[in-house]
Chains A and B, each alone.
Chain A
Amino acid sequence: MAVLNRLDWYDIARDTNWTPTYVAESELFPEELSSAFGLPAEVFEEYDEPYKTTYPEYVKVQREKDAGAYSVKAALERSKMFENASPGWLSVLKLHFGAIARGEYSASSAEARMVRFGRAPGMRNMATFGMMDEIRHSQLQLFFPHQYVSKDRQFDWAFKAYDTNEWAMIAARHFFDDVMVTRGAVGVALTLTFAFESGFTNMQFLGLAADAAEAGDWTFSSLISSIQTDESRHAQIGAPLVQILVKNGKKAEAQKLVDISIWRAWKLFSILTGPVMDYYTPLEHRKQSFKEFMQEWIVVQFERSLLELGLDKPWFWDDFLHEIDEQHHGMHLGVWFWRPTVWWNPAAGVAPAEREWLEEKYPGWNATWGQCWDVITDNALDNKMEQTLPVTLPVVCNMCQLPINFTPGPAWKTRDFSLTYEARDYHFCSEGCRWCFEQEPTRYQDHLSLVDRFLAGQIQPPDLGGALKYMNLAPGEMGEDALKFAWLDEVRAERLKKAS
């Protein structure tokens, strides 16, 4: 029997629009859930999804993807990757699974909102596949780390992290809730699928896959690059909407949502992806620097696509380019210093050869961040370990929820971008984070940062011990230096060599 080509029947099969007779259009697609900027139904009739698939194709392709990911896992289960991996690499896995796995369920609910409330049939159709994709991502990323739980309790945080008030988790949740959980269908298509998935997820799921392959962790490399093949498809839900909004006089609205998501994703990635690429991944396995990956994926590829679809560069683009050189070094230093407050073991990544690499990739590193690490290194060499550990909490931003920090050194200028709104003082790390707040203050105003909660007396006793308890971090879960300071041996050897 002759089979029609997909394109010969696709449109009629997926065109599920009808004229409602029992309820008004506005009840079928309430603005709160469709968030279509008040545009009428007919403008969405132009929506044509660029990356098409059908249910039979989807089932075949997804089956093959899963067979691939699971067979790589099965084949390598006896390879002793866990036993042979550097402690820094295991920290990459712990951070990734904890911050990502359960967030995929939020992404699935966001896709489900587009399935039901998306205004265009093609959008609803692609989001149906996207919704199933995200369930796959949750399940894979909970199942894969589970094999390590019996060996290392920190891997339990793959499941547990989202149920805690651990500070990095508060930051991740604040961002994901903003772009996935609390936006209507069109909003989610812009913030999640367009800005986040066609842009930033490439960093975490492909850039990091390159490092994983270099580090010999083929199970992880194969898993995350397979996940990104789903993202690559359903991320295309947003592009046709951008064009429709631009064409119908809603460019400013679309641009604003895309800009919010880009800025907020950037801040999260400066702590999630930056430190793991430039400090935790063993030096010999680093495929590129974090900045080089950012350039490849976000500047050359993603930024170009904004212009293609009729949007502009975000207003903060110069700040952003400046920050990709610097911000993650401060995040890394903070995470390492406050290591008891995270569920992974941060690798300092500042042995002599690593510092040389950092200086080469980020000229000026030694004169700025390097100076801070000199002090830490000297204290550790003198066995003054208490000097390398925190006694209190850092000031965090009321938008990204991350420690406020700037590049140290001669040009050091700590700035607090503050704002008083309805008699409450807010503190932000940057113009970008303050701007996000100002776009919709009522959306964010009631959230308390970890420091706000501390000051409000919610954390008892009001000291680091009380904060660790509040964050659900038990002994055996709290982070410590990944190499247990073995890197000091290289520093000693270097200093001896210089002295002789």
Chain B
Amino acid sequence: MNGTRNDIANAHLNNRVGPVLRQGALAKAVAEAAEVDNPDKTITIDDKVAYVRISTEGEMILRRTTIEEMLGKSFQMYELEVELSSFSGRIENGSEQIRFYFEKTL
């Protein structure tokens, strides 16, 4: 991260999307669900102790049922907000899935 001035000048030219979650059981479940629900994508987990940044390129889908399975208990999509401190990209939150995405690719 400690890049040169030139790296920083171009650092905004990225397409990383995904949630930033407070540390805990839900963050772990979401990280696992991200792998399952986005099979063709490489998911990056950046653990900052207090928060976990889960990201990929362009678009990430998280399904309620997948998170429920990973958590091992019932889960409503809106409950993600309890731990969702931030996110990269745009958000679209429904009852069965949540989507992080960019419309423009840089």
Q: Chain B 91-103, CB within 8 Å of chain A: the 1/0 string?
A: 1111110000011
Contact check, A225 vs B85: say whether CB atoms are below 8 A apart. yes
Task: Please report A residues at the B interface, Cβ cutoff 8 Å.
Answer: 5-7, 50-53, 57, 60-61, 64-65, 68, 202, 205-206, 209-210, 212-214, 221-222, 225-226, 228-229, 232-233, 236, 239, 287-289, 291-292, 295-297, 299-301, 303-305, 307-308, 313, 318, 321, 325, 361
Distance from B53 Cβ to chain A, minimum over Cβ atoms (Å): 8
Distance from B50 Cβ to chain A, minimum over Cβ atoms (Å): 4
Within 8 Å of chain A (Cβ to Cβ): is B74? no
Count, A-B residue pairs, CB within 8 A: 124
A202's partner among B1, B86, B89, B92 (CB-CB below 8 A) is: B86
Distance from B24 Cβ to chain A, minimum over Cβ atoms (Å): 9
A232's partner among B5, B14, B85, B102 (CB-CB below 8 A) is: B85
Contact check, A229 vs B104: say whether CB atoms are below 8 A apart. no
Residues of chain B within 8 A (CB-CB) of A61 are: 78-79, 81-82
Distance from B27 Cβ to chain A, minimum over Cβ atoms (Å): 11
Contact check, A53 vs B78: say whether CB atoms are below 8 A apart. yes
Most buried by A among B12, B95, B96: B12
Give the complex CA separation of A289 and B14 in angstroms: 21
Contact check, A236 vs B83: say whether CB atoms are below 8 A apart. no
Residues of chain A within 8 A (CB-CB) of B86 are: 202, 206, 228, 232, 297, 301
Contact check, B9 vs A321: say whether CB atoms are below 8 A apart. yes
Contact check, A295 vs B51: say whether CB atoms are below 8 A apart. no
Contact check, B82 vs A210: say whether CB atoms are below 8 A apart. no
Give the complex CA separation of A320 and B51 in angstroms: 26
Residues of chain A within 8 A (CB-CB) of B102 are: 304, 308
Within 8 Å of chain A (Cβ to Cβ): is B88? yes
Contact check, A226 vs B22: say whether CB atoms are below 8 A apart. yes
Distance from A219 Cβ to chain B, minimum over Cβ atoms (Å): 12
> Can you report 16 residue pairs joining A to B where beta carbons are below 8 Å apart?
A6-B78, A7-B94, A57-B78, A60-B78, A61-B78, A206-B86, A225-B85, A228-B86, A229-B81, A232-B81, A287-B49, A287-B50, A295-B3, A303-B11, A304-B14, A305-B90
Residues of chain B within 8 A (CB-CB) of A313 are: 12
Residues of chain B within 8 A (CB-CB) of A209 are: 50-51, 85
Distance from A483 Cβ to chain B, minimum over Cβ atoms (Å): 25
Q: Chain B 16-39, CB within 8 Å of chain A: the 1/0 string?
A: 100010110000000000000000
